[in-house]
Chains A and B, each alone.
Chain A
Amino acid sequence: MKRRMASLALGAVVSLALVHAARAHHSFAMYDVGKTYVMTGIVTRVDPNPNHLQIFFAPLNEERTQVLKNDAGEPIVWAVEMDGAAISARQGISVNGFPRGTIISVGLHPLRNGFAGGGRGKSGLFKCPPDTPPAAGKHCDSVPGSTSHGEGVLPQPTDEAPARPKS
């Protein structure tokens, strides 16, 4: 198991390095590449940052009926960071293409500090058809008519994303 984890981690490091070598504007050591979460949620906003586009999304519950909320009743919002806005746009990931309410599934390597964010690495990113969430426990790649954005498939998760990330 340890060997598998080490292999996963090494692969993730290499993939991050390859993906981001062209245009990184910060170190990726902030992400724990030994961990991979696969999450499905509702887009709240796309920030088309030229260096690293970010998608903010509220994860759905296991039943895929409601977004997860904190003790104050507010949606918990995660951020997933990827390539710059121009490269992402070529993958169809844009403000216009991912408006608020879009249902997505993505894999990410979480922040080491436990906050609600992560780097996409080489994970696939899938968009469900409008207003069509996946079945309970499933992700957008299982929904007929979903679209894939960029290369990659949804990875095997190593861990469950925490229901209450640090904020």
Chain B
Amino acid sequence: MVKVWFGYRKPWLGLATAALFAGAAASAQTSVGRGARDPLKATVIVGSEGKGLYVGAGIPEGNSPIYAAKDGAVPAGVEPLAHDIFTTTDFYKDRQLWSDARYYRCNSAVGLEQIWGAYEVPLIGDDPPRSAAWGYCDRDYPRAEIVSPYGFKSAKEHYAALLAETKRKGGPTVYTQATLPDWNGRYRRQREKTASWYNGAVLQIPTYLSLLKPEYQQRFVQQMYHYSGSNAAQWPGSYCWPEGFMRRFAQYGGGDVSLVMTPELILDMRNAAKTLITQIHIGREFDESGVVPRLGPDVPQWFGETIGFWDGDALITWTSNIQGWISHGGFEFSNKLQSIEIYTPRKDASGTFVGIKQEIVLYDDEAFVEPLRIVHNLDKQRELNQGDPLVIMECVPQSFPVDGHTTPMSPGQIVEYRVPDIYGRPWAQIWERYHEEGMQRPREQTGRFGL
């Protein structure tokens, strides 16, 4: 019987360890808070079909189908649970099963998100959802490669340590427009499914849950159930709701990056259903008198507010005052989310600038059990003034929730529309109203004054 608990099963450990030491030798960390060895590349872990680590199930573009079993069959050697996320009548009651990968049929988060065909060939089978496919239970991405390798408890502590380190070297570096590193340009993030754990394809869901606090575990499982059991995805962008801070790092959304550089302000602009703009204010300090550090009024911002400084050719930023939200397929995050992001140049063997490495450390003590890290590589594509201009996305609503399902509507059609409580997890309001009848969702206690 295969039982996969919170990321501790590592059948590929030999390969992974070899790669890990190779990586360590290539980039020894010399800083207190940046430049740690890159997370293990999922591609070094070869699956049985030779396509690299991919939990599945799925038929990703350019790959052969990846699933361990489909159409109601069970993979050899795996003992299925009596019921799972596809067959449950109440996923809330199954909390003790959430840490067992078989509850999700060993599908990754992306595996579940796409199982009805969200962006790949559906693998839900001919008797959905009972006949949904299985991913590979013997694959997982190491949790240790997801959590921050640094010992800081908060973004503030992390930023202060990096700033102090820079000051000891005589910094921060102050640039003029003439001396500023010329990173102006348009970039494409390396974004294949296996490029980052945050793309959701290489880790089992129990490993994902092990990163989250109980309330956010429940929210994540709720999201997974509504991809798999009810086929009722509620992607914020589909309704032109805000995309939110973490969308910057999603596999597709935010994958094309434009950088506009000045000594005082750097713009990091990306596109999803809307344009995602990060304004990096160089040399400024946060007002720390409130609940979270901020630059402007005490109003959470969809992309937060960002300060930064230069340490030579490394740009170090701190983002705070972020509006809590979700990036579909990923975890929900709270208004406490803060990030430390380090942009450093990548050069080829001849020393020519080819792109940017972006190291992102995420702090959210309301949602995460410990800080997390994402590392992305951005490849320079062209100059800012070459090719098509960046499209500023103004999302125009075309789809509406009809009976709890995202439904494209035509001009003139009439739809009964329930106004969402936009700051109160509107996606979950739809799920709970239309797709959780009879379930016993844990409720908040009634407070004082009967509220």
User: Which residue numbers of A lie inside 8 Å of B, CB to CB?
Assistant: 42, 44-48, 50, 58, 60, 65-67, 69, 75, 85-86, 89-90, 94-97, 100-101, 131, 133
Q: How far is B450's CA from A44's CA once the two chains are assembled, in angstroms?
A: 12
Least CB distance from B365 to A in Å reads: 16
Q: Is the Cβ of B450 less than 8 Å from the Cβ of A75?
A: yes
Given contacts A75-B451, A95-B335, A95-B423, 17 further A-B contacts (CB under 8 A): A45-B421, A45-B424, A47-B422, A48-B299, A48-B323, A48-B423, A58-B449, A65-B449, A66-B450, A67-B451, A75-B450, A95-B298, A95-B299, A96-B298, A97-B298, A101-B447, A133-B449
Q: How far is B287's CA from A90's CA once the two chains are assembled, in angstroms?
A: 14
Q: A60-B449, A101-B451 are in contact. Are A45 and B423 (CB under 8 A)?
A: yes
* Smallest CB-CB A-B distances: 5 pairs: A89-B297, A94-B298, A85-B299, A96-B291, A86-B297
B300 on the A face (CB < 8 A): yes
- Name the residue on B nearest A57 (C-beta): B451
- Name the residue on B nearest A99 (C-beta): B291
Chain A neighbourhood of B447, CB < 8 A: 101
B14 on the A face (CB < 8 A): no
Task: List residues of B (276-301) whose CB comes within 8 Å of A's CBs.
Answer: 290-292, 296-300
Least CB distance from A43 to B in Å reads: 9
Of the candidates B297, B323, B424, B448, which one forms a contact with A90 in the assembled complex, judged by CB atoms under 8 Å apart? B297
- Name the residue on B nearest A89 (C-beta): B297
Least CB distance from B428 to A in Å reads: 14
Count B-side interface residues using an 8 Å CB cutoff. Answer: 19
Chain B neighbourhood of A46, CB < 8 A: 423
Select the residue from B296, B297, B300, B423 with max chain A CB neighbours within 10 A: B297
A-B contact count (CB 8 A): 54
Of the candidates B300, B422, B448, which one forms a contact with A95 in the assembled complex, judged by CB atoms under 8 Å apart? B300
Q: How far is B296's CA from A67's CA once the two chains are assembled, in angstroms?
A: 34
Q: How far is B448's CA from A100's CA once the two chains are assembled, in angstroms?
A: 11
Chain B neighbourhood of A65, CB < 8 A: 449
- Name the residue on A nearest B421 (C-beta): A45
Of the candidates B296, B323, B450, which one forms a contact with A86 in the assembled complex, judged by CB atoms under 8 Å apart? B296
Q: How far is B292's CA from A85's CA once the two chains are assembled, in angstroms?
A: 16
Q: A96-B290, A96-B291 are in contact. Are A89 and B451 (CB under 8 A)?
A: no
Chain B neighbourhood of A131, CB < 8 A: 448
Least CB distance from A51 to B in Å reads: 12
Of the candidates A45, A67, A89, A133, which one forms a contact with B299 in the assembled complex, judged by CB atoms under 8 Å apart? A89
Q: Is the Cβ of A67 less than 8 Å from the Cβ of B291?
A: no
Q: How far is B296's CA from A75's CA once the two chains are assembled, in angstroms?
A: 34
27 A-B pairs with CB atoms under 8 Å apart are A42-B449, A42-B451, A44-B451, A45-B421, A45-B424, A47-B423, A48-B299, A48-B323, A48-B423, A50-B299, A58-B451, A60-B449, A66-B449, A67-B450, A67-B451, A69-B450, A85-B297, A86-B296, A89-B297, A90-B297, A95-B299, A96-B291, A96-B292, A96-B298, A101-B447, A101-B451, A133-B449
Chain B neighbourhood of A89, CB < 8 A: 297-299
Select the residue from A46, A95, A100 with max chain B CB neighbours within 10 A: A95
- Name the residue on A nearest B423 (C-beta): A47
Chain B neighbourhood of A50, CB < 8 A: 299
Task: List residues of B (401-451) whose CB comes within 8 Å of A's CBs.
Answer: 421-424, 447-451
Q: How far is B292's CA from A46's CA once the two chains are assembled, in angstroms?
A: 17
- Name the residue on A nearest B292 (C-beta): A96
Q: How far is B423's CA from A131's CA once the two chains are assembled, in angstroms?
A: 24
Chain B neighbourhood of A47, CB < 8 A: 422-423
Least CB distance from A55 to B in Å reads: 12
- Name the residue on B nearest A64 (C-beta): B449
Q: How far is B323's CA from A3's CA once the two chains are assembled, in angstroms?
A: 48
Chain B neighbourhood of A101, CB < 8 A: 447-448, 451
Chain B neighbourhood of A44, CB < 8 A: 451
